Structure 1
Amino acid sequence: MATRIVLIEDETPIRDNVTTLLSLKGYDVESAPNGREGISLAMVSQPDLILCDIMMPEMDGYQVLEAIRSNRSLATVPFIFLTAKTEEADVRRGMISGADDYLTKPFTLESLLLAIESRLQREALRESDLQSRLGELRRTITRMSNHEYNTPLSGILGFVTLLMEHYNEFDQEDSLSMLGMIKTCGLRLKRSLDNLRLMEDLQENPASIQFIKGMSRLDSAVVNHHIRTVNERHDQPIQCQIEMAGAPISISETGLRIVLDELIDNAHKFSDGSNPIRITGRREGDSYRLTIVNRGQPFKPEDIARIAPYVQFDRKSYEQQGSGLGLAIVKKLLEATGNALEIESLPTGETSVTAVFQGVNNG
């Protein structure tokens, strides 16, 4: 299929000549005499490249470029200015606005073709790199999903099969124990799926952030409640030491539930079990610091900035559980409410994760 080019040029002779010459070279060219028609044409035809004059009546090239770059489907389309303006400030303004190249009138057919081919080649390389990254992301998600979803699902199917095929061989205690394991596996699977939906909502639907805005109270009773909730998803109970000062904090009860659930679960998941998890909460001026400390797998300084969905650290060294969504969700929720997440990890394996809540009052 021929490369599609949209040409936006108000001077008829230039528009007709460029259209004819590029068509003879095998390009599929559509042209528009002004910026408004050019934008509409680009939205309909979805071109591979846009050529646009700067000095046009009503709507100049800079305004066209701004509109193109603000359109999601056209934002990455290569954009070349055709203009008689040669001042350095004009060139800089075009590049800052997002233009890919700048061809000064009068130009030759050779220089025009060279500019077009250069930009198309760069776009092809960018697209190839993007596809490679997407392929790696898909493989990462598939690998994590197989572990995160299939592990509890295998547990559920295994215990159900055992109970169905040998139900008369187990006493009540054994049966209840297996049913408890089925519940544990089911809760873990539900949490994984809930986090997947929550992260998608937070990334795709800004309005969904509203549910975490508000005030709630944080104290030892609230923390203990969430420890019990997390315990239901794990085979081994969580050992914790809690030292909390109660305070109202700037996040809704729903938001606080998610933050506590994820941070406690994360600490338990990566703890080596040699020491209890320490949970402390204290005021510092008009802020409140909730800190959860565990000893186990350390965070490297460079990994802290890489917290994101489907990112795991030292996968080859540690058999991790999780999709990387937990901390990414907490970080996004806290930032959306004007709060912050701090992580400090020592080489000895002691990691402190602190949620810093702003605007604490004396209520």
Structure 2
Amino acid sequence: MTKILVIEDEEHIREIISVMLNAEDFEVIEAEDGRMGVDLAQKNKPDLVLCDVMMPQLDGYGVLNELRQNPSTQTTPFIFLTAKAAKVSIRQGMELGADDYLTKPFTRDELLAAITARLKKQSEIENQSQQKLDVLRDNITLALPVELNTPLNAIIGFAQFLGKNYGILEPDEALSVIESITNSSKRLRKLTRNFLLFAELELATISPQRARALRGEWMMSHTKAAITDFALQEASKVYRQADLHLELEESSVTISQSSLHKILLEILDNAFKFSQSGTPVFVTTKVHGNSFVLSVRDRGIGMTAEQLKELGAYIQFERKLYEQQGLGLGLAIAKRLAELYKGKLIIESIPEQETTVRVTLPINGF
């Protein structure tokens, strides 16, 4: 039976709603104020919440904010009941993650129509989430065992070698083995983190609440200094500082610093991986109207039109030839992160000549 939580401080309104819903075979839970509503929602995990805006103890906005902070109620459909139909009030609720508004007084048909629409949409979201999880699981079944076993086998092998030969190894030999164990451990950690991040980003594409939670604080300024630092850090890891060329225009941009760093990290990782040492890698930023444009161009192996068309998670081009490591998630993660902030990622490539990855993000919010 579908469970609906009704949070309303006016008893007669609460009772009328409960009678209507009981008559339609809904299970109804009642709360007379916002604080009680939050407690009951977290305890009973309703399928949908109907909540008044103006209430003592904790108003409807406070209720919604708390429910959206809790993973167990983060995606629960939420409909406001209010006598206030002002656009400012509606906008405030929608920005916090409300799914719909019903302005008092409303009819039985209006109430049931709103509930039916929200429950149907939630069912569709859950089905889409399951389909995405099924695709992820299928991809992981094929790719993950090999990717996990490679660094794990290296860690185990080097550790066993170190244990058996500890007393006879020269200090520099022991340090070399320890360094190999450390590098394999870092590779395994990056693989795990990338998989978990990609899974979250995939689910966020069909859940506004998940997307909002992932974005968090998003206005960043002083991009020139940040991108310079990020780029130099990544170039130094592969000893390509001399190949890195920066042409950066200062701007603020609608994205968190950590997300911008991750996008640049994954794009640069591919640029350095698929170009020879001694060839240039260009990083440029420009402002076009209300858009911030980040471009990374390398003179490496490039990609064919067919490879660009098929580009996605877990696809790795010319793996044997170029010894590409990881699940192939890098550009897929960068693309999803750009889209999370209402931006886009475009790839242009000429085989055997160059590849340009261009990320466009809004400057003044979305």
The separation in 1 between residues aligned to 2:169 and 2:321, in whole angstroms, is: 39
Instruction: Supply the AA of the counterpart residue of 1:211.
Output: G
SS at match of 2:216: helix
Structure-1 residue corresponding to 2:160: 161
Residues 216 and 256 in structure 1, CA contact (< 8 A), matched pair in contact too: no
Structure-2 residue corresponding to 1:206: 211
Structure-2 residue corresponding to 1:329: 333
Percent identity (aligned): 29
Structure-2 residue corresponding to 1:294: 298
Mapping of residues 133-172 of structure 1, within 5 Å: 138-172=137-171
SS at match of 1:170: coil
TM-score computed with the length of structure 2 as normaliser? 0.56
The separation in 1 between residues aligned to 2:279 and 2:125, in whole angstroms, is: 54
Mapping of residues 296-315 of structure 1, within 5 Å: 296-304=300-308, 306-313=310-317
Mapping of residues 209-228 of structure 1, within 5 Å: 209-211=214-216, 213-219=218-224, 222-228=227-233
Q: Please, which runs of 5 or more residues in structure 2 have no aligned partner?
A: 1-22, 28-46, 48-107, 205-209
Residues 69 and 75 in structure 1, CA contact (< 8 A), matched pair in contact too: no
Structure-1 residue corresponding to 2:250: 247
* Pairwise CA distance, 1:329: 1.7
Alignment length, in residue pairs?
Answer: 255
The separation in 2 between residues aligned to 1:344 and 1:217, in whole angstroms, is: 27
Instruction: Supply the AA of the counterpart residue of 2:144.
Output: S
Deviations 1:32-69 (A, max 9, x none): xxxx85999xx9xxxxxxxxxxxxx959xx99985774
Deviations 1:310-332 (A, max 9, x none): 34446687654222322122112
The separation in 1 between residues aligned to 2:309 and 2:355, in whole angstroms, is: 15
The separation in 2 between residues aligned to 1:260 and 1:137, in whole angstroms, is: 24
CA RMSD of aligned residues (A): 4.0
* Pair 1:208–1:183, CA change in 2 (3 A): farther
* Pairwise CA distance, 1:274: 6.3
Residues 309 and 328 in structure 1, CA contact (< 8 A), matched pair in contact too: yes
Structure-1 residue corresponding to 2:265: 261
SS at match of 2:326: coil
Residues 212 and 337 in structure 1, CA contact (< 8 A), matched pair in contact too: no
TM-score computed with the length of structure 1 as normaliser? 0.56
* Pairwise CA distance, 1:352: 0.7
Structure-2 residue corresponding to 1:104: none
Instruction: Supply the AA of the counterpart residue of 2:252.
Output: I
Residues 289 and 355 in structure 1, CA contact (< 8 A), matched pair in contact too: yes
* Pair 1:208–1:352, CA change in 2 (3 A): same
Mapping of residues 347-362 of structure 1, within 5 Å: 347-359=351-363
* Pairwise CA distance, 1:354: 1.6
The separation in 2 between residues aligned to 1:39 and 1:275, in whole angstroms, is: 66
The separation in 1 between residues aligned to 2:153 and 2:236, in whole angstroms, is: 20
* Pair 1:147–1:224, CA change in 2 (3 A): farther
